[in-house]
A and B are shown apart, each in its own frame.
Chain A
C-alpha cells in the first residue's frame, strides 16, 4: 500500500485496542441491527419475537464482560493507568468512568429486557423493531457517557432520545400514553435545542468542542455570552435530568409509559447525562470564581428539586407519580454532587461519590419499577397507594423486596441508598457546602413521610376489596427470583459498594495531543498547512 496513504489511515483510524474498549457500544449497535433483521425473516412481525429478545440479551454481554475485565485489571492490554487513552479526536474516552457506565447500562438493559419478557404487558415491548430501538437507546447512553467532545455527545444524546420517544408512545393504546409521548418529545426536543444553542455560544468563546478545553472558558460576568452559553447548557441538561424547575414533564411521562420502560427511563438515561456533567465540571473553568459561580446555581437547582420532590410527592395517590417525584428529589442529590464538583473539580472523592450514587440509585429504581410492573400486570395500569393495602400478607416476598427498595430510595441505613447519600454529603461537607447538605437532609425527612406511608399501606393496613392481587403463575416465579437478586444486590452494594467504587480510578482520558492553550501576547497564529502530526496510541 502507498506509504503516505498508510500513514494518513493510521492518523484517522484508531488502534485495535479501541475496538476492545468500545466493544460494548459496537455490540449494542450491531445487536440492534441483527435483532431487527431477525424479525423480518422469522415469524409474524406484529408479535413479540423471542429470537430478537435473545439476540438483544446476548448483545448486552460485552457491556458486562469487557468492563469487568478492564475494571478488575487496570493497565491490561498495555494501557496507561495514570493517563487513560482517548481515540477518534476525543470522541471516545477509554477511562474507567466510561467502563463503569457501560457496566451499569449493560446490566440495566439486560434487566429491562428480562422484565419485559416475563410480564404480559411488557412482552409487547419485545417486537423486533422495539428491541432494536431499545438497544440503540442503550448504545446512545454509552456513547454519551464516553464522549470527550460535543459532537459525539450530541449524537449519543439524540440516539438515546429518539428511540425513547417512540417506545413511550408505542407502549399503550390509550390517550395518556400518547400524551406522555408527545410531552416527552416536545420537552426533549426543546432541551436538545437549548443545549445546542448553549454549545454554539461556548464554541464562539473558546473555539473548541472538547470537554477538556472547557477549562479555557472564562466564567464571569465580564464574558456575558460565555456565561449565557454555559447556563443554557446547564438548563438543557437539567431538563433531561428532571431537575426542578425543569421537571414538569417528568411525572406525566413516567405515569403514561409502561412501568418496565419507566424504570429504564428514570435510571439509565440519567446515568448517561450525569457522566457528561461529571466530565464537563471535572475540568474546572478559567478564572478564580467560575466554579463558585456554578456551585451557586447548582445550590439553587438542588434546593428547588428536593423541595418539589419531597413536598409534591405527598399529595399524590398514584404510586408511579410518587416514584416520579422521588426521582426529582434524588435529582436534587445529583445537584449536590455537581456543586461539590464545581468547587473542587479534581477531587477523586467527589467523582467516586457520583459514580457510587448513580449506580445505587439505578439499582433501587429499576427494582422498584420492576415490582410495580409485576403488580400492574393484569388489568390495572396505574396503581394507587390504597391498592397496596394488605400486600404484605398476600405477597410477602414482593413486599419485602419493595420495602428494601423504598427504604433505599428514602436513604435509611440498611439499604444501599444510605451509603450513596452518605458519600455525597461527606464529600460536599469537605468542600464547605454545609448549608446545602443540611437542606438536603432536612427535606429528605419530609420525603420520608410518603415513603413510609407506602410501607404502612403494605404492612399495617388490612386488605380491602380494591387491593391488588398479584397473579401466581410460572412468570411470577421468574419475577420473584429476579427481583430477589436485585434486592439482595442492593443490600450487598450498600455494604461493599462504596469500597469497590473507591478502587475505581476517576482520571479522565485525554488524547495524546497538545491541549489547547491561550495564545501568549506577541505570538502570532498564522495559518500554516498541517499542524503537527498526532501520536495515536
Chain B
C-alpha cells in the first residue's frame, strides 16, 4: 500500500464527509466555504491520478472563478440562514435516493464498469487504453497538457472558435433580458 493510495483514500473520504457537511449548513456562505474545500480535495485527487491539467483547471475554474461568483451573488442577495427541514422523507425523495444508490452501485463495481466500457472492449481495446481513432493527430504519450492542447486546438478547433460566439450570444442575451425591465421602469417613472 503506497503513499499515493493512502493519500487518495484520505482525500476521497474527506471530500465525501465535507460534501455532507456542506449541504447541512444553515448559512449559505459557510456552505460555500466548505464547497471550496471539497473542490480543492477533488483537485488533489485529480493530481494523484496524474491528470495534472484537470487538477489545475479545477483549482482555477471551480475554486477560483465560480466560487467567487457564488459568494458575490450571496452578498448581493444578502441571503438569510436557511430553514433546515428535519423529519419525514417523502416517497419521491425515497425514489431519488434509491436511484442514486443504484447508480453508485453500478458505477462503483467492476461489473458496472465492465458494462460501461463493453463497447470498446468488444473492439479489442483493454480498459484504460486510448483507441487509435480517439487520439489527437498530435497524440503524445505521458504528456497530459500537450494532449489537452492538441485536442482543443487541432481536433476541435472549429468548435473552440465558435464557443466565443456562443459566449457573446449569452452575454448579449442576458443584457437584453435585464435591460428590458429597467427601460420599462424608466417609462413608468
Contact = CB atoms under 8 A, between A and B. Distances in A.
A216 B172 contact: no
Contacts of A205: 117-120
B64 interface: no
A519 B123 contact: yes
A459 interface: no
Q: Is the interface of B mostly helix, strand, loop or mixed?
A: helix
Interface residues of A, number: 64
A1 B123 CA distance: 43
Contacts of A66: none
Given A46-B183, A166-B176, A528-B141, A159 B162 contact: yes
A155 interface: yes
B169 A136 contact: yes
A12 B159 contact: no
Interface string B153-172: 11111110011011011101
Contacts of B170: 162
Interface in A129-143: 129-130, 132-133, 136, 139, 143
Interface residues of B, number: 45
Interface stretch (A221-229, A357-365, A369-377, A392-400): A221-229
Interface in A523-537: 523, 525, 527-531, 533-534
B78 interface: no
Contact of A155 (B132, B155, B166, B183): B166
B129 A162 contact: no
B169 A162 contact: yes
Contacts of A92: 158
Interface in B107-147: 115-120, 122-125, 129-135, 137-142
Contacts, number: 149
B177 interface: yes
B132 A88 contact: no
Given A133-B173, A162-B166, A516-B132, A152 B125 contact: no
Given A133-B172, A217-B119, A516-B131, A530 B162 contact: no
A224 B112 CA distance: 10
A435 interface: no
A525 B119 contact: no
Contacts of A36: 172
B85 interface: no
A514 B168 CA distance: 36
B13 to A, nearest CB: 27
A32 B173 CA distance: 13
A519 B137 CA distance: 18
A425 interface: no
Contacts of B168: 136
B166 A530 contact: no
With most chain A CB atoms within 10 A of its CB, the pick from B142, B155, B183 is B155
B157 A530 contact: no
B131 A208 contact: yes
A210 to B, nearest CB: 8
Given A155-B159, A204-B116, A531-B137, A163 B169 contact: yes
Given A158-B166, A170-B176, A89 B154 contact: yes
Interface string A62-103: 000000000000000000000000011101100000000000
A183 to B, nearest CB: 15
A523 B157 contact: no
Contact of A207 (B118, B131, B159, B166): B131
Contact of A29 (B116, B165, B172, B183): B165
Interface in A480-537: 515-521, 523, 525, 527-531, 533-534
Interface of A: 11-12, 29, 32, 36, 46, 87-89, 91-92, 129-130, 132-133, 136, 139, 143, 149, 151-152, 154-156, 158-159, 162-163, 165-166, 169-170, 173, 201, 204-208, 213, 216-218, 222-226, 515-521, 523, 525, 527-531, 533-534
Given A129-B176, A527-B130, A527-B139, 19 more contacts: A12-B153, A88-B157, A92-B158, A129-B172, A133-B172, A136-B165, A159-B169, A162-B169, A162-B170, A169-B177, A201-B116, A204-B120, A207-B130, A225-B119, A516-B131, A516-B132, A519-B125, A525-B132, A530-B139
10 contacts: A88-B157, A133-B169, A149-B156, A155-B159, A204-B117, A205-B119, A518-B123, A519-B124, A519-B131, A528-B141
Interface of B: 115-120, 122-125, 129-135, 137-142, 153-159, 162-163, 165-166, 168-170, 172-173, 175-177, 180, 183-184
